[in-house]
Amino acid sequence: MKVNQVITKKAKLINQTLEELLPMEEAKPKKLSQAMRYSVLAGGKRLRPILTLLVAKLIGEEEKKVLPAACALEMIHNYSLIHDDLPCMDDDDYRRGQPTNHKVYGEAMAVLAGDSLLTLAFETISRINNIDQDKVLLATQELAIAAGNQGMVGGQAADIVAEGQKIDKEGLEYIHTHKTGALLRAAVRIGAILAGANKEELAALTTYAQKIGLAFQVVDDILDIEGDEEKLGKDVGSDLERDKATFPALYGLEEAKKMAQKLCQEAKEAIHIFGEEAKVLLELADYIIGRDY
């Protein structure tokens, strides 16, 4: 099966499970339930939960057993997007081609929808009762660390602090490995932990995750710049002069593209121990950097 087909198939399973885990439209308070469903069920590639399912399968666990953990990651991802779009953060009007949560439900409800998704994620993962409870506890801790001040929220905070200031390569890498990298890393590690990966397997998968996480962000930066260029009809050079912390701004566009390729290659090399069994993860790495540039 080609990687696109795998993604479509797994995303369908994840969407069905999310439907069931989220409060029903009519559940009280209705507006909150609707706001939660609005963002989570608005599409998205489901990259993080797909990684969890694929890794668990690679290590030998049934995908359906780790589905709640996979959905917990997607809930946290959606909470972060809702909050990131708020006027006090990025102030975005559209997400996934639809009006952002606060544009539809108002700022207060968008904050609460994000909060509820974050807490529902922890309820969901901690309810897993068909896997060894020590592993569930470890996976829950992994999720908490990746989501909070040591992970995604920490990265977002560092990004806000760096706004309007000169940033060096180390600073930029810190922001990205935390803001976007931490959750992708957790998606892989949680799949591995729940499935009972040994130390060597977990280390290999962690390196894979870190490399694709960074590659994902480099590509995102490149797409941003090239998208702006298309929209505004200006050349990339002038875009690179903006005071924006991105990989192309620091390294140059061509170098950033090479960097994405290199990270992808290193990600693939990191999981060579699994041989052919890891074929989908190898293709997924190519898919991540192959996103339209």
Sole window of 82-90, 128-136, 245-253, 270-278 interacting with ligand GRG (rule: CB under 6 A): 82-90
Chain centroid to CA 96: 14
User: Any contact of residue 47 with ligand GRG (CB under 6 A)?
Assistant: yes
Q: Report the C-alpha gap between 153 and 180 in whole angstroms.
A: 10
CB of 110 to ligand GRG, least distance (A): 11
- Give the residue with the Cβ less far from ligand GRG, 274 or 286: 286
Residue 179, amino acid: K
Q: Report the C-alpha gap between 41 and 204 in whole angstroms.
A: 32
State which H helix or E strand residue 95 sits in.
strand 94-95
- Give the residue with the Cβ less far from ligand GRG, 61 or 84: 84
Sole window of 6-14, 27-35, 76-84, 196-204 interacting with ligand GRG (rule: CB under 6 A): 76-84
Beta bridge partners of 99: 94
**Residues 214-273 contacting ligand GRG, CB under 6 A:** 220
CB of 117 to ligand GRG, least distance (A): 11
Among residues 189, 193, 187, 201, the alpha carbon closest in space to that of 77 is found at 187
Residue 162, amino acid: A
State which H helix or E strand residue 32 sits in.
helix 30-40
User: What letter does residue 235 receive in the DSSP assignment?
Assistant: -
Q: Write the interaction track for ligand GRG spanning residues 146-175; mark x where CB under 6 A is met and - where it is not.
A: ------xx--x-------------------
Residue 64, amino acid: K
Q: Write the interaction track for ligand GRG spanning residues 185-224; mark x where CB under 6 A is met and - where it is not.
A: -----------------------------------x----
Sole window of 39-47, 62-70, 189-197, 249-257 interacting with ligand GRG (rule: CB under 6 A): 39-47
User: Which residues, at least 6 apart from 235, have a Cβ–Cβ distance to it below 8 Å?
Assistant: 229
Q: Report the C-alpha gap between 13 and 10 in whole angstroms.
A: 5
Count the site residues for ligand GRG by CB under 6 A. 16
Q: Residue numbers of the site for ligand GRG (CB under 6 A)?
A: 44-45, 47, 77, 80-81, 83-84, 89, 96, 152-153, 156, 179-180, 220
